[in-house]
Amino acid sequence: MILIEWLQFILGVSFLLAGLGVFTVQVFGVFKFDYVLNRMHAAAMGDTLGIGISLVGLIILSGWNFASLKMALIIVFLWNASPVSSHLIARLEATTNPHLERCCEMEEGITEHLWDEDQREIIYADRDKADRNKTDRDKADRAQIDRSKTDRDKADQAQTDRGKTDQHKADPVKSNRNKAREEA
């Protein structure tokens, strides 16, 4: 009986460690790859395989009970849901990225199936228009900042001039002395 428990423990822990290894490779793949489809592939494979192997290890460790049945149903759900959701995200990326051929190798004719020239021209025109609008907004913002600086400088100069005239009014003797010093 003790031998079976030890065998169950060793087998369960080995599955858990294998799942941890898959998760480690998944994290490395997500951070190493540059393109979104490659990152998503690494994440989806690690998600499906890593969680599946880890849950099998937990099922072995917990024995055959109701919790094991729940974990087995989670495995079935994840093995069905994760690939489907990854496929939908990849399809969205493939249909919305007109520069897909720059990022990854594709078979002949796939880009024509995903994008025709009219759609590419529309996207490029929209992108150019957005760039022009951003440039125009930046110019308007810079002009407004320049106007506010000029207004601030004028206000500061007016306040300085007002301060000098107030000084002359307050003490005419000092102002006459200052004028005499300036003239000399």
What is the rounded distance in angstroms from the CA atom of residue 152 to the CA atom of residue 14? 72
Helix and strand element counts for the chain (H, E): 8, 0
Residue 182 or 44, more confident: 44
Its pTM stands at 0.52
Mean pLDDT of the chain: 76
Greater confidence (73 vs 184) lies with 73
The domain limits of the chain are 2-109, 118-183
Q: pLDDT tens, 24-77? A: 988 888 888 877 777 888 888 888 888 889 999 999 988 888 988 998 898 889
d(CA 161, CA 173) in angstroms, rounded, equals: 19
DSSP helix, strand, coil percent of the chain (3-state; round to 5)? 90, 0, 10
Q: Using DSSP, state whether 33 is helix, strand or coil.
A: coil
pLDDT of amino acid 139: 78
pLDDT tens digits, one per residue of 147-174: 777 878 787 777 777 766 555 555 555 5
Q: Which of 43, 168, 13, 37 is nearest to 99 (CA)?
A: 37
Candidates 101, 83, 104; CA nearest to 36 is 104
Nearest-Å Rg of the Cα atoms of the chain is 36
Amino acid at 174: K
Q: Residue 19: what pLDDT?
A: 92
Of 82, 94, 89, 102, residue with least CA distance to 34: 102
Mean pLDDT of 134-151: 78
- 51, 16 contact by CB (below 8 A): no
Do residues 35 and 103 lie in contact, with contact meaning Cβ atoms separated by under 8 Å?
yes
> Given a cut of 70, is residue 126 above it in pLDDT?
no
Q: What percent of the chain has pLDDT over 90?
A: 13
Work out the end-to-end distance of the chain between its first and last CA atoms, rounded to an integer number of angstroms. Answer: 114
